A and B are shown apart, each in its own frame.
Chain A
Amino acid sequence: MTSEPRAFLALDKGAATVAAALIGRVAGRWRLVGSIAMPADAQLEAVISVLGDRVLEAEPEFAAGLGLRPGSVLELPRLEVASQGPGRLAVVAASARGLAPLVASASRSGWRTSSGSADAIDPLAMSMLLLDPGVSAILVGAADPPGVDERRGIGELAALVAAVAERRPDLTIILAGAMTDHLSAFRDADRRSGEIVLAPAAQRDMPGGPLADLLLELALPAGDSHRSLGPAAATLAEVLDRQVDIVEIGFDAGTRVSARPNSGGGPPAFDLAVVPAAALSHAEPDDAMVDRVGSWSTWGADRHRLRDRLRELDVAPWSDAAGEGSALRMAAARAALARLAERTSDWDHRPPADLVVAAGGAWAVASAPAVALAIADVLRRPGASQYALDHARLLAPLGSIPDPGERRAMITYLLDDLLVPLGTFVTPAGLRSGRSAGSMVVHGSDGDTEHDLQPGGLTRVRLAPGVEAVAEFRFRDTVKLGARGRHFAVDVAGGLGGLIVDLRDVPLNLPERADLRGELLESWEQALLHGPKA
């Protein structure tokens, strides 16, 4: 008998749903035994008990081998992450020009932002903005050295913020760039309960720089589920030796991670963006937000009805997940993903990831091909990528393991269980419409199959999970598929959606008319879910 645990729980306590996974040691390695997801305000102990009961009922001997008996699952060690819910950061600057890069950095660093510049709003309005009871930190910044438009107002702005800091000693104050020179305006800095933090200037056209990293540190504590996805993606990239992207759409924020293995032998690198504006739902969806969801919706609701449904989604995000509710979620998830992509558009020049992992509760109610299609609809990059789903929401808990060696070992053990392969998307760009674009031959283990490539649609080839093949493309004209050319051979891997050749426009052009748009979206979904399969 060993004292080492033979099982543990991985818990991801999201803002809308809680996911629990039971990991057990089987034949000398850790495996996923079972998982469950329930509404966030269900009793956690009850959720874990149900998971344990199901394992005991399904495989009593196997459960006994893990040391499980009725009720004992509650005593297992827990690896736990939670979504903390974004705080509000008031971002102010002396000029609108100086404000823009600050907001760009802050809005992808785990903060909800409200902002204003001294040249656009008067000091009274700015004081109201900063004294709002919902604000938990203030970012005040200027370029370094300050621009011509900033110099005149920077001193008065520092005095205004210092006065607010005196009134609200609980607020964290972040002075960025040339604003750090005005630290002396902040009296009694040592006696405040909130920190005063000196930060580098925001860099124009580089929203993910050192300032964003610092803001992420301040926004999200260790053990936050969004933040933990960064180390998880980096470890996955290292283990697979592939470039990995994670796109998470959660109830309170969207997260995107881009990780690549380090060829130099050092630790793998990753970029992390946590964007509260890319959350699945918002309490007060504005017209732009509603219209964006409407543009992905197939059920033709008017703006008012759609707004009602989005408000309901915000009040009870776990509810109404079948039928129209599922379609609404996928439309809202696409809209959120588009916001996430916009906030991380500086990553667009990078080569497409080898593996794109969908994570977060938003995808939980959709079929695997529908999830893959939703991502391919929005993140349109010419190239070939394999798509997968973090079905048991294990990535964030595993990413929270502090020791890189342990994290790597655990992810290596769980690699076969961690992700559901959705399939491989091959997306060429630059196709001419109206005639056959060429042909594709899939060289698989059980022979070759040939397919005609029709521009504007999706061609799906059945390729089971775990099966690998080579897809050979011969295009009539030069296209972009990673590189420019007419003849390509691409290694592809199977999944629940198989191999999908996406011959639609890059970026996607949708009709203006709602009915035509709805029909087109539906036809693509049907092609993927039920269309001709080879």
Chain B
Amino acid sequence: MSATGVQLVSVRQLVASPVDATFRLSPGDRPIVSAGESVVVGAPIAERLRDPRLDTFDIAPSAVEPEPGARWTGRARRGDGHGPIGEYMFEWHGRWRVATGDVTDPIETPFAGIVREVRPGTGITIRAAGRGIPGVVAFGTPTRGRLQAGAEGELRSGGLDVGSAGTILVVASRVDAETLTRARAMGVRGIVVAGLSSKERRDFLGSEARQRAALHRLPPFAVLVLDGAVRRSLSGAVQALLGALAGRQVAIVTDPPMLIFDQPNLVIEPPPIDLVRIRAGALAGREGRFIAAIGPRRFQGGARLEAAIVHLPDGTEAAIPIGDLERYV
């Protein structure tokens, strides 16, 4: 038995801290915060141009020479409170190209924090006040809501009700595109799921793109995938943490994909060091205790892989490829 055996197992972070989340900006979008500023939940941090375009303007000889990325304000039209706004892009033949547009949408932060960096045209990075549960991918728009435990296994569209409006639902294993679309329509703010298949993901993104083209502004809704693309239950450690967060306000951000919570008093016990989860193979999703690394063994299909003995809760032991194991720290 090797004392260092369990350290051969791939490690996943249960909780990340600190969390620097980035909100992507395009040329013309107007940041309204600056580095070092504190922001509260729901605070607008930028204005996004809905249909940006590039216009060309002359600069008066007496004016201060603009810089790329600086804000541009046009002359107010009659009756307007202020003129059109935009962003200087580049100068060519004495005229400036300016990214501008007519309608803007606010970008709001779904969590409190401190602005770390503002790069016009690129993004705003905010360090969250709180910690995060990392996922493998997230899509949609950053969102916030009360965390609510959902279905144990697969969540079906019929399983949703209006009482879930304003919540972020936890789905234990898998969800389909119809359910995601219906959840968004019913005012659910987000879904946290272990696995989302490529087909459901594509269908949902297609539906969202159509909605976005038809309507003007969709309410914030995000899907956070914690594990991957195949059906798999949530790990015990993550389930326990999500259980502890049930009923509390959390946020989903997409860059990096993460569920952010600000509960400084929540004590998160680290999982036992020898607790491992089987990620793939016939026993995928089960958890057990790492006993020992046993060296290379031959597995299905003749593959010769480094293996370990894992003690399962039913009292049995199994030789599992070390690559199929993961543990949370």
Q: Do A and B bind each other?
A: yes
Interface residues of A (CB under 8 A from B): 36-39, 41-43, 45-47, 49-50, 53-54, 122-124, 127-128, 131-133, 155-156, 159-160, 162-164, 166-168, 283, 304, 307-309, 311-312, 315-316, 318-327, 365-367
Query: Which residues of A sit under 8 angstroms from B326, Cβ to Cβ?
Result: 316, 319
Asked if A38 and B8 make an inter-chain contact with CB atoms under 8 angstroms apart, the answer reads yes
Secondary structure of the B contact surface, majority rule? mixed
Query: Which residues of B sit under 8 angstroms from A324, Cβ to Cβ?
Result: 301
Closest to B197 in A: A308
Contact A159 B90, CB 8 Å, known A122-B54, A322-B300 = yes
- The segment out of B142-150, B159-167, B184-192, B316-324 that lies at the interface is B316-324
Closest to B293 in A: A50
- In the assembled complex, the Cα of A315 lies from the Cα of B4 at a distance in Å of 25
Report 13 cross-chain contacts, Cβ distance below 8 Å, ordered by A residue: A43-B4, A46-B7, A47-B8, A124-B52, A127-B121, A128-B121, A163-B89, A167-B121, A308-B198, A311-B228, A312-B230, A315-B228, A366-B303
Closest to B87 in A: A127
Query: Which residues of B sit under 8 angstroms from A41, Cβ to Cβ?
Result: 10-11
Asked if B299 and A304 make an inter-chain contact with CB atoms under 8 angstroms apart, the answer reads no
- Nearest 10 interchain pairs by C-beta: A163-B90, A320-B280, A46-B7, A322-B299, A163-B68, A323-B300, A318-B323, A308-B229, A307-B198, A43-B7
Asked if A322 and B301 make an inter-chain contact with CB atoms under 8 angstroms apart, the answer reads yes
Closest to B3 in A: A49
Contact with A along B266-308 (1 / 0, CB 8 A): 0000000000000111000000000001010001111111100
Contact A50 B121, CB 8 Å, known A41-B11, A304-B198 = no
Interface residues of B (CB under 8 A from A): 2, 4-5, 7-11, 22, 24, 26-28, 52-54, 67-69, 89-92, 97, 99, 119-123, 136-137, 197-199, 227-230, 279-281, 293, 295, 299-306, 321-324, 326
Asked if B7 and A307 make an inter-chain contact with CB atoms under 8 angstroms apart, the answer reads no
Closest to A53 in B: B2
Asked if A319 and B324 make an inter-chain contact with CB atoms under 8 angstroms apart, the answer reads yes
Asked if B303 and A326 make an inter-chain contact with CB atoms under 8 angstroms apart, the answer reads yes
Asked if A319 and B279 make an inter-chain contact with CB atoms under 8 angstroms apart, the answer reads yes
Closest to B96 in A: A163
Distance between B109 CB and nearest chain A CB, rounded to angstroms: 17
Distance between A72 CB and nearest chain B CB, rounded to angstroms: 15
Closest to B198 in A: A307
Asked if A320 and B68 make an inter-chain contact with CB atoms under 8 angstroms apart, the answer reads no
Closest to A529 in B: B302
Most A-side CB within 10 Å, residue of B5, B69, B279, B280? B280
- In the assembled complex, the Cα of A365 lies from the Cα of B10 at a distance in Å of 18
Asked if B99 and A322 make an inter-chain contact with CB atoms under 8 angstroms apart, the answer reads no
Query: Which residues of A sit under 8 angstroms from B300, Cβ to Cβ?
Result: 322-323
Distance between B276 CB and nearest chain A CB, rounded to angstroms: 12
- In the assembled complex, the Cα of A225 lies from the Cα of B28 at a distance in Å of 41
Closest to B90 in A: A163
Query: Which residues of B sit under 8 angstroms from A43, Cβ to Cβ?
Result: 4, 7-8, 11
Contact A322 B230, CB 8 Å, known A128-B27, A133-B22 = no
Query: Which residues of B sit under 8 angstroms from A325, Cβ to Cβ?
Result: 280, 303
Closest to B255 in A: A133
Partner of A318, one of B10, B67, B198, B228: B10
Asked if B7 and A315 make an inter-chain contact with CB atoms under 8 angstroms apart, the answer reads no
- In the assembled complex, the Cα of A304 lies from the Cα of B230 at a distance in Å of 11
Asked if B280 and A124 make an inter-chain contact with CB atoms under 8 angstroms apart, the answer reads no
- In the assembled complex, the Cα of A250 lies from the Cα of B90 at a distance in Å of 40
- In the assembled complex, the Cα of A318 lies from the Cα of B27 at a distance in Å of 40
- In the assembled complex, the Cα of A480 lies from the Cα of B123 at a distance in Å of 58
Contact A42 B7, CB 8 Å, known A311-B198, A321-B305 = yes
Query: Which residues of B sit under 8 angstroms from A42, Cβ to Cβ?
Result: 7-11, 322
Asked if A50 and B8 make an inter-chain contact with CB atoms under 8 angstroms apart, the answer reads yes
- In the assembled complex, the Cα of A321 lies from the Cα of B302 at a distance in Å of 10
